Structure formats: C-alpha cells, structure tokens
A and B are shown apart, each in its own frame.
Chain A
Amino acid sequence: MPQSGFTIERAFLEKLERLTIHWQKSFPGLVGGHNRSRFAGAGQEFLDHRNFQQGDDLRAVNWRAYMRIEKLFLKMFQVEPRVPVRILLDISESMTTGEVSKFDYARRLAAALCYVGLVRLDTMCIQPFCGRLLDPYSVGGGRHRFSPIVDFLGGLQAGGKTDFLSSVRQFVGEYPQRGLVVVISDFLDDGDCTRPLQYLSDFGHELLLLHLWADDDRTPPWDGELDLTDAESGANLQISFDADARAAYTRAFDEFAAGLRRMALRTGGRYVGLPTSVQVEDAIFGPIVRARGVA
C-alpha cells in the first residue's frame, strides 16, 4: 500500500490480528471494556417487545403482530456502544530529528494500532497535532477500512511547533465523549506537557502515552565544540560537550521520561518509552504488550 513513501507490510499486519486494544476505565454513558450492553436503543440486534406509546417511532412497530392480534407492539433493539479510541499523533518539527525519523516511526505505530482496533470493530480516530489540532480521520467497521488510514497517514507532513496546552484545550472542546487517548509523541514541548496531559485525564480520558525518542535524543554521540539548533524554535546554543556533559544530558532526559511515567500512572493511564532503534513490531509485541496497551 504505497502512499507518499509510507508503507505497511501485509505480513506485519497479519501478526497484529490476534491483538486487542485495551483500556481500564469505565467511561460515563458507555459500557467499558468489551462487554456487550443490555441497553435498548438504536442497534442491529433484537432485544424485546413493548407496548407502543404515543410518540414512538413507527418504523419500529411490529406490523406482523398488529395484523395478527390487532395491537401495536414496538420492537426494541440492543444498543452497541463503543469506546472511542483516539490517537493523538505528534507531527511537530522535532519529530523529524534523529538518525531514524520519529515521525515515520510514529506513523507506523499509529497505523498498527488502528489496524488492531479495526480488526476488533473499534472506532478509531487519528488526530494529528502540533501547535493545534489538525484535520482528524475517524474510521470504524472492520479491517477493510484500513487502506484509507494508510493513505491519510501517508499524506501527513511534519512541521510546526509543539504546544500541548493549546492542543489539549482544543481536543477537550471537540471531543466531549470520553475514551481512550493514545498520545504518540516525543513530548518535547517548550512548556510543561504534563499539565495538559493531566488536564486531559481529569476530563475523563484514559491516557496511553507512547514516548518516542531517537538514540541521538537520549545519548548525543558528539564531542567537542557544538553549535546546536532547536528544530522547532530555531534557537541556537553553542556549548562544549564531553562525556560528563553527555551523562548529565542522559540523566536529564531520563528524569523527563520518568516524570511522564509518573504522571501517566498517577492518572490511571499507562506509559511506554520507545527508542526508534527498536522495530515497531518489536515495540508492539514487547513494551506495549507488557504495558497492557494491547493484548
């Protein structure tokens, strides 16, 4: 399925078919998990009959019973509520740094999660963001709807500056229905990204944070005099760098990742750190499965 150089191998997809996206919360108004609902409402499965009341939908009247016993009965159907799974995909400029592009890695990861969800008839929504939310793509109804997702992901272009606070505010406004929110990002925001994520969780969403980093992001290989340029802001920094500085850098990065983990666990969510040197397939069947993101 080639599209703008973005491809997903069929063999990889076949391995994903046995997986299911998991969430832990019971969301208000919906039945959590994968338990079938006993609420009557608009649905496909027949649930029961009741007496017709004034104002009922005439399309649900059982006309065959009326012809036989001359009484109006109304057919009731089982409601099939689905927990929305929304993937917040970071497409900011910082996702393009590193030997292996985090942006490509994130797109492959999003595509894989969408396929897992579609196989289980979940409703998937991919929501790209950087400084704000971009046009989303929602899909559901089975694996045969996967191809448009690949096309959508292939059409995405990386760019822009990350602003979690603005994006989260917009997200909360546009998606009032609670659900599982998978955030795929390097979480490198000039501001503190934990607060907006906390806000998202407080609103009722369950968070699954997939933290991506390139090896260069965690352990810079360079030595000596460095002239650094921030990929998003263009800010410049000239420093002397050596092994001690490298250790300090790695320490700071690990502390930042630990902060994200703590925040996710505190809010009942989950956190998975993924270096791009690990293959997407290994990441899904390794750290993400272990974190019960999928099972």
Chain B
Amino acid sequence: MHLFNLGLGEFLGLLGAASGVVLALYLLDRSKQKIRVATLRFWTPAPKPSDLKNRRKIQQPLSLLLQLLSILCLLLAIAQLRWGSAESGARDHVLILDTSAWMGARAGATAREGTLLDAARRSARAWLRTLPSGDRVMVVQADGQATAVTAFETNRQVVEQAIAAASPGQSALRLGQALAFAQKTQRMHARRIGEVVFAGTGRVSTDEEKFADAPKNLRVLPSAGPANNTGVRHLAVRRAGASPDVWEIYVTVKNYGPEPRVVPLAATFGGAPAGTETLRLTGGAEREVSFRYKTLSAGVLDVRLFNPDAFPGDDRASVELPAQPRVKVAVYSNEPNLIRPLLTANPRVEAVFRGHAEMPDAATDAALVILDRPPRRVDPKGPAIWIEPAAGVSAMALKQQAEGVALTRWRDEHPAGRGLRTRDLRLAKTAIFAPASGDVAVAESSAGPVIVARPASRAIYFGFHPMRSELRFELATPLLFANIVQWMAPDSFRRWELNASSAGSITAEVDGEAEEIQVTDENNQPVPFTVQDRTLRFFHGTRGTVRLRDGRRESVYSLTLPEVETAVWTPPATVRRGIPRPGSGGPSATDLWRALAILGAAGLVTEWLLFGRRRLPFAVASMELSVRLRSLLRKPSLLRRAS
C-alpha cells in the first residue's frame, strides 16, 4: 500500500488541516442562529440534554466522525492510494508506432476495415490496457526518423491521445534507427526499463529485412497488410537538349506485389492529355516509360495510374512545369539586318529592332540593349552591348584607333570569352580600349584590348563591328553572342530538371563546386546537404518542394510521392509477439482512488441527509432514536446492568 501523489508528511499535514477546517465549520454550523420573532410567548425549549446547548462541545459526534471519515477517503483518493507492490515495481516502456507511408494502406479488402495504422493503433491500445497503472509509457512515431511524441507518461489519456493523433508519414520506416532510439531513451531516462513495443507492419528496405540486432526487451505487435500494390516510384521531367520547348517526361512504375499486373498510365498537362501507356508488370518488376511534350507555358504535369489497389497514395504524381523564359533584347541600329542573324538563331532570345531615332536616353524595359554605333551618349542602366562606340559616347575610354591589327587572344577568364577560338583573324579597323580598374578584356589584339567587359555594369564594348569585320565568317561569332547573352541573363539559359519522388533521403549528381550549390525548401530556407565525389545527399522527411541549384542547372524535387519499401522485416525468433495477458507485466498495484472517492462522496451525502439543515424525516426519526438510546445508556442502572 503506497501513496502515489503525496508523501506521508504531506498527507498527514493535509489531513490535519482539512480536519481542522471541518471541525471549525462543524462548530460554526452548530452555533446559535439569531432570529427576530414577533413574540416570545409561544416559545418553549426542546427537551434536550444539557450538553447539546453548548456550542463549544461536539453536539453530534456521529456527524463529525462521518465528515472526517469522508474527508479522509477523499484525501486518500486524491493521493491515489494503491494496494499492492511498492512504487519501484513500475516500469518504463517505449511504444514505437510505425507511421511510415505504407501504414496509410487499407488493412483489408474494403475501406471499412480502416488503414494499417488503425490496426496498429488497436494493437497498441490493447497492449496498453494490459499494463499496470503505475507503468510509464513513451510513444515514439517512427518513419524515416524516430520522433518521441510524449515523455514517459503514467497518464493513459495522454498516451491514448498520442496514439490517436498518429498519422502516416511520407517516408519509409527506418527500423534500426527507431529501435536504437528507444533503447537509448530507456537507458538515459527510464527508472526501470520495461519493454520496447513495436506496432506496425515493419515494411523496411532490403537492408533491414533481416535486421537481427533487436533489443532483448522487444515485443512486436504485427499488423498484416495487403501484398498487392502498384505505384509510381519516380517522375522526372527535363527540357530536351535539342529543342528547349520540348519536355522529356520519365515515369518509373513498380509492381510491389508478386502477381503480374496490367496498369494503364496517363499523363496530363493542365488537364490536356500528354501521353498514355498500358504497362504490363510482372511481380516485383519496375519499368520506366517516357513521353515528350511540347510547351513553352507553365502548368501542372500529372501522371496517374488507373489501378485500384490497397495503397492509392502512390498512384499519382505531379510536378509543376515552369514557363520557358525568353530574354528581351532591344537593338538600336540603322543596319539591323547585320545583327538579326545572331539573335534570331537563339530560341531563348526575343529581339526587337529599332533605329537610332528611337534610342531612349535612359533605361528601357528590355533585359539587354545592343547599341550599334550609337550617335549620341545614352545611359541604358542595365546590361548593354556597345558596338563601335565613338569617343565620349560610352563610358569606356578609347586609347586609339588601329588598322590591320591581328586578334591575338580570347580570354577564358571571362564567361563571354570562354571556349572561343579564331586563327589568323585580322581586323581591318578597330578601336583600342583603355580598360579601367575592374574591366576584363575579352579579346585582345596586338595593339591592345578590342572587346572589353565591365562586370560592374554588365556591359560589353566592341571596338569593331563583329558583322562588318572578318569575324563574321568565324564560328566564334554566334558563340560569343551566346556567351554574352548567357552572362547577362543567366536565368534564361538555366537547365531545368523536375523530379517527383518520395520524401526522405535524396541523392543527386552535381557538376559545380560545393560553394555554388544551394539546396532550399519551398520557404527558401536552406536544407543541409553533403557532397562527396560529385554526389549530393540531403534529407527531407516531409512533403514539400526542394530546389537544388548547381551552377547553370536547377533541379526541383517535388517530394509528394510516398516512400514505399519492398521488404518486410522478419523479427528474430526470440522476440516476443502479440498482446500479453493482463497483469503478466510484472508486479502490479490496484488503484483504490475510485472506490475511495465514491465512499467519500457517499459519506458526505449521508451526513447531509442525516444531520443537515434539511434533513429527511426518517433521518430525524433515526437521530431522535439514537439520542434516546444514548440517554438510556447513560443511566447508571443500565450501565451497571451492562457491566
């Protein structure tokens, strides 16, 4: 027998204080009532013993005793009195609830039977009911990572709420990690180690299929699930290399069950059909199908499998395709036909040609401005290509005019000159620039720089006209302009790759340096990652979108597909299974607080009925009888007779 909530000293102190208050109230209740009456002529005192007239004495000891006993019962109920073994018998258990994505699958043939998680909840509750009331339980939700949702709790209501609040996640179960977490938590925080209970199907990766490092105190509450399921494992979309307005769509579908299945697959873009295919999948087979879809506009690409199975969560995948951006280029030239071939060959460029008369003094709405031999000084305020600017027209200082100089070198240090080669190119007439600090020479002649880049203002200065010189016959000319446009508007040349996959660990190949790589979630918050041998890894355990920027490539991971593993964990033979018998979990104690609370309340009600101001008639009669009996017993003759 032990008190759970109060120490003995606290209990006795509380009991003493409550008894004192009750006694004071009792005496106060029995004090004389002051009443104003019309006359005193009819009043006659009741034939009572003399001691009843004294308020300082206890007039109705039975009433006081009943009150004190009721208070004692209520205090013991508050203290959660238990009958049985001592407090040290209580154990601390960890309940691991499998909340992997697969637990959202239907448990039976019909939806009425609920999901696998519902079955696991039922098992967990049944196990919980077998525990002694003093045992503490911690609930851990396990999917890709193990998360404790409660501390070690004796309050079963809190534990039940945590079990009820569990919902299937997006990732697969990492069983080893969850069991290790449970063992570590028990070692660090448990007063007396109880069981580690796993409730779920145990659908794990093939690495953990034979996981044998199970703790000795493990108990498994297995949930049998359906075997047949076909789902989308991966959806990847990227721009075709040859034509940027064509998307290449790759869909990977897997049959998780042993039976062969025929699965219709349909892809739609903005509700319009984008491709269909009927897949014949043998048991356990995985197949990839591809489509091509041509569009420049943005929209949602939706891939759906039309196969009613137990797990509809992986029958659909969707990604949001971005629109193809185009660079607006404004060309101010009196000879537009010279430059037109350079720009119209690039599908990512949208060029507008205007004469020198339309040349604005300040900024335009174009992303890039080409000023072909401008007659006056302008300030475009943005990226600009200056071709043969006269002295004083542009911000670039001219050193001299030269004729018949050879173009000797393309500088790879700047993106505009990267990868360019020319041989024996002589420039009939060119301006030689005097670059300022921070300027970079893109092309140099024997007399000095003839093409200069100014990164601060994103401007390129040509000392000669590329289409009026010998350069127009060189392959380097379109490449030079492509490099310039890409340097000035990098977003339009970014390579897009869209993936719909499952949450969890993501692996991707990267080209750029680690400093250039950015991984952010949909809130633009950075996501931790590692890079090893050009392989990037990051973990994202919830649904969402993750962007990976790697130089000129941007990969978008739409983590909307549930991660479904193929293997089912087989526990070692030594592991205990199923629901134990009630009371088999070791020494236990019986709660007495309910009975004590009822007893206390009944005592108070009885006292009120028997001794209260509005006592019942039979109570009045019984009290009178007791008074008479007491008065009889006080008679000396009766006492003598009794002795």
A187-209 contacts to B (CB < 8 Å):
188, 190
Interface size on B, residues (CB 8 A): 25
Given contacts A240-B53, A243-B620, contact A225 B33 (CB under 8 A): yes
Q: Which residue of B lies closest to A238 (CB)?
A: B32
The CA of A252 and the CA of B42, in the complex, are separated in Å by: 6
Chain A residue numbers with a CB within 8 Å of B44 are 239, 245, 248-249, 252
Q: Is A241 engaged at the interface, CB distance under 8 Å to the other chain?
A: yes
Q: Is B45 engaged at the interface, CB distance under 8 Å to the other chain?
A: yes
- Contact digits for B28-52, partner A, Cβ 8 Å, 1 yes 0 no: 0011111111111111111110001
Q: Is A9 engaged at the interface, CB distance under 8 Å to the other chain?
A: no
Q: Is B630 engaged at the interface, CB distance under 8 Å to the other chain?
A: no
B37 and A241 form a contact (CB under 8 A): no
Give which listed residue, B32, B43, B620, B624, contacts A225 with CB less than 8 A: B32
B33 and A188 form a contact (CB under 8 A): no
The CA of A31 and the CA of B39, in the complex, are separated in Å by: 41
Q: Is B634 engaged at the interface, CB distance under 8 Å to the other chain?
A: no
Closest Cβ of chain B to A213, distance in Å, is 8
- Contact digits for A168-183, partner B, Cβ 8 Å, 1 yes 0 no: 0000000000000000
Q: Is A72 engaged at the interface, CB distance under 8 Å to the other chain?
A: no
Closest Cβ of chain B to A187, distance in Å, is 10
B603-619 contacts to A (CB < 8 Å):
613
Q: Is A224 engaged at the interface, CB distance under 8 Å to the other chain?
A: yes
Give which listed residue, B30, B32, B38, contacts A94 with CB less than 8 A: B38
B1-60 contacts to A (CB < 8 Å):
30-48, 52-53, 55
B32 and A249 form a contact (CB under 8 A): no
Given contacts A239-B46, A240-B52, contact A226 B32 (CB under 8 A): yes
Count of A-B contacts judged by CB separation below 8 Å: 94
Interface centre among A224, A228, A253 (most CB of B within 10 A): A224
The CA of A242 and the CA of B43, in the complex, are separated in Å by: 11
Q: Is A11 engaged at the interface, CB distance under 8 Å to the other chain?
A: no
Interface centre among B34, B37, B613 (most CB of A within 10 A): B37
Chain B residue numbers with a CB within 8 Å of A95 are 38
Q: Is A136 engaged at the interface, CB distance under 8 Å to the other chain?
A: no
Interface size on A, residues (CB 8 A): 38
Chain A residue numbers with a CB within 8 Å of B55 are 225
Interface of A is mostly: mixed
Q: Is A45 engaged at the interface, CB distance under 8 Å to the other chain?
A: no
Q: Is A231 engaged at the interface, CB distance under 8 Å to the other chain?
A: yes
Chain A residue numbers with a CB within 8 Å of B46 are 239-242, 244-245
B35 and A222 form a contact (CB under 8 A): yes
B33 and A242 form a contact (CB under 8 A): no
Given contacts A224-B30, A225-B31, A225-B55, contact A231 B45 (CB under 8 A): no
Q: Is A24 engaged at the interface, CB distance under 8 Å to the other chain?
A: no
Chain B residue numbers with a CB within 8 Å of A94 are 38-39
Given contacts A239-B45, A242-B48, contact A230 B34 (CB under 8 A): no
A231 and B36 form a contact (CB under 8 A): yes
Closest Cβ of chain B to A140, distance in Å, is 34
Closest Cβ of chain A to B170, distance in Å, is 73
The CA of A217 and the CA of B38, in the complex, are separated in Å by: 7
Closest Cβ of chain A to B48, distance in Å, is 5
The CA of A37 and the CA of B149, in the complex, are separated in Å by: 107
- Contact digits for A246-268, partner B, Cβ 8 Å, 1 yes 0 no: 00110011001000000000000
Q: Is A51 engaged at the interface, CB distance under 8 Å to the other chain?
A: no
A98 and B42 form a contact (CB under 8 A): no
Closest Cβ of chain B to A278, distance in Å, is 18
Closest Cβ of chain B to A78, distance in Å, is 49
The CA of A190 and the CA of B39, in the complex, are separated in Å by: 8
Give which listed residue, B35, B41, B45, B624, contacts A229 with CB less than 8 A: B35
The CA of A252 and the CA of B48, in the complex, are separated in Å by: 20
A228 and B35 form a contact (CB under 8 A): yes
Closest Cβ of chain A to B124, distance in Å, is 59
Interface centre among B31, B38, B45, B46 (most CB of A within 10 A): B38
Give which listed residue, A97, A238, A243, A245, contacts B37 with CB less than 8 A: A97
A230 and B37 form a contact (CB under 8 A): yes
Closest Cβ of chain A to B266, distance in Å, is 85
Chain A residue numbers with a CB within 8 Å of B45 are 239-241, 245
Q: Is A69 engaged at the interface, CB distance under 8 Å to the other chain?
A: no
Q: Which residue of A lies closest to B52 (CB)?
A: A240
Closest Cβ of chain B to A17, distance in Å, is 34
Q: Is A104 engaged at the interface, CB distance under 8 Å to the other chain?
A: no
A244 and B43 form a contact (CB under 8 A): no
The CA of A109 and the CA of B624, in the complex, are separated in Å by: 43
- Contact digits for B214-251, partner A, Cβ 8 Å, 1 yes 0 no: 00000000000000000000000000000000000000
The CA of A154 and the CA of B555, in the complex, are separated in Å by: 97
The CA of A226 and the CA of B53, in the complex, are separated in Å by: 10
Q: Is A282 engaged at the interface, CB distance under 8 Å to the other chain?
A: no
Identify 11 residue pairs between A and B in the complex whose beta-carbon atoms are under 8 Å apart, listed by A's number: A102-B38, A214-B38, A226-B35, A227-B33, A228-B37, A231-B36, A231-B39, A238-B32, A244-B46, A245-B43, A245-B45
| A contact set with B: CB distance below 8 Å | 94-95, 97-98, 102, 186, 188, 190, 214, 216-217, 220, 222-232, 235, 237-245, 248-249, 252-253, 256
Which 7 interchain pairs have the tightest Cβ spacing?
A239-B45, A225-B32, A245-B46, A94-B38, A242-B46, A252-B42, A188-B39
